[in-house]
Amino acid sequence: MNKKNIIYYFSIILLITSILLIVGNNIPVFASFRWLWAPLFLIISLTLFPEVLTHRPVKSVIYYGIFFVLLLPNIIWIYADEWYERMIFEDFYALAVFVILYEIIRNNDYQKEMMKMSYYGLIFFFITGLMTIIATHINLSIVRASYSSGHKDVVNYDSIFKLGFGSYGYMSTICALFPILIYFIKNKTKSKLTQRLALFLLFFFLFVEIRGMIFANIIVSIIFISLAVFGVKNFKKNLIILIIIITTIFIVPNSVFADLTLSVSYLFEPNTFLNSKFRDFSYFLSDPVIFEYSIGGRGEALSRAQRYPQLLDAFMGNPILGDASYKSEFKREMDAGGHLFWMSRLALWGVLGFIGYFFILKNIFSKIIIDFDDSFKFYYLLSLSSIFVLGLLKNLGGREIYIMLLIIIPGLYLTQFGESKN
């Protein structure tokens, strides 16, 4: 096979083992993305295309690996928790694979192959969405249980897992897809992703998200779908509306929102996660200080609200070099704060480390944005922003996010021109 075909077939295998979880969850560990296909791809791609190492986005990933994975954790951040070290390595690993893949495609005129990848990626996301609907019919809380210790309490969890339902990374990634679907709904293109198909996928993935019962993702998706619908021309007007809404929230008594939120909880079946989430938040709004569950523990809404001040305390312990640079007293705060991606990284690495991480990501994604025309650029920025906002509310995990932002969305951008961009 020629180099183009090698990269193309490898990319499809990477997508299958990462997104098509009915396959990825059933293959042996030695045949997985992590242990076989990703290492093989890195070896073969760097052998065939060594020049990719000189590209700015790839060099940024290399800096990430050298400083954030190898050197600084053994020189400065020697007190980092093992969980943080593992998550940082996984983040670097996935980013390295898909940045290199993107750069090879972009700099070797493999646009036609990238379009095919984007279509296959959407199909794999759709199939995993179907499996998620089936799995949540078996156990409604299976998605949430899958990324916590709660899965130990789920009967027949292993057999449900083999169905290949979407977990943490999958559910977060759906948020980034919505603005792009809105773009294709609003614009008639030459893509196979027609307006009708994009509209169908929009409602389908919204339903998947509701079945997954991850409250923050649903709220973030609704916000960014709304911003995408209004579009770039009305963006300034929308910002004014958002400011008015936020101002109203501060003026109107909490009791009004508490009653409204409690009313919304009745739309969902009793004892379901969304029902309890809305009731939880309603009681929290009524009295954040004394709100407690009937069993005597702090409510989840209050617990989440406390994570920012907890992480702020840890950050202020050493704001320059971070909590991981000394034997701090904030282990409990850092453990709980791991649920907030951006703030936990700021507390862990300090200002200097966090700024370095920010510029690494900026170098990678600013290069991608340049390739889009102005009309599409707005929607891609909304996709990036949705992930950023999710990271303010919860932890981010999984390689699906990088696949969406680096492979599927850029590929879908090319499909709107048919063959003219090839």
**pLDDT for 321-349, tens place per residue?**
999 999 999 998 898 888 899 999 999 99
DSSP 41-94: HHHHHHHH-GGGGGSHHHHHHHHIIIIIIIIHHHHT-TT--HHHHHHHHHHHHH
- Full residue range of the structural domain in which residue 260 is found: 3-415
* Contact assessment for residue 6 and residue 108, using Cβ atoms and an 8 Å cutoff: no
Length of the chain: 422
**How many angstroms separate the CA atoms of 391 and 174, rounded?**
14
198 within a domain of the structure (yes/no) = yes
Please give the share of the chain, as a percent, with pLDDT higher than 70: 87
Q: Specify the DSSP element, H or E, that contains 400.
A: helix 400-403
**How many angstroms separate the CA atoms of 249 and 357, rounded?**
34
420 within a domain of the structure (yes/no) = no
CA distances from 359 to 59, 91, 202, 363, 378 (A): 12, 16, 32, 6, 21
How many structural domains does the chain have? Answer: 1
Determine the pLDDT at residue 329.
92
Q: Which residue has the tokens 């995408």?
A: 228
422 within a domain of the structure (yes/no) = no
Task: List CB contacts of 244: < 8 A, sequence separation 6 or more.
Answer: none
* Contact assessment for residue 131 and residue 25, using Cβ atoms and an 8 Å cutoff: no
More confident residue, 274 or 226: 226
Q: Which amino acid is located at 55 in the chain?
A: H
421 within a domain of the structure (yes/no) = no
With bands split at pLDDT 50, 70 and 90, how would you rate the model's confidence at 291? Answer: very low
- Number of C-beta neighbours around residue 28 at 10 A: 8
Determine the pLDDT at residue 100.
97
Single pTM value for the model: 0.88
166 within a domain of the structure (yes/no) = yes
More confident residue, 173 or 306: 173
Residue of 118, 142, 121, 122 lying closest to 132 (CA atoms): 142
With bands split at pLDDT 50, 70 and 90, how would you rate the model's confidence at 292? Answer: very low
Task: List CB contacts of 346: < 8 A, sequence separation 6 or more.
Answer: 311, 315, 322, 354
Instruction: Return the SS3 of 298.
Output: strand
pLDDT at 252 over 80: no
More confident residue, 53 or 420: 53
The torsion angles phi and psi of 25, rounded to 5 degrees, stand at -85, -5
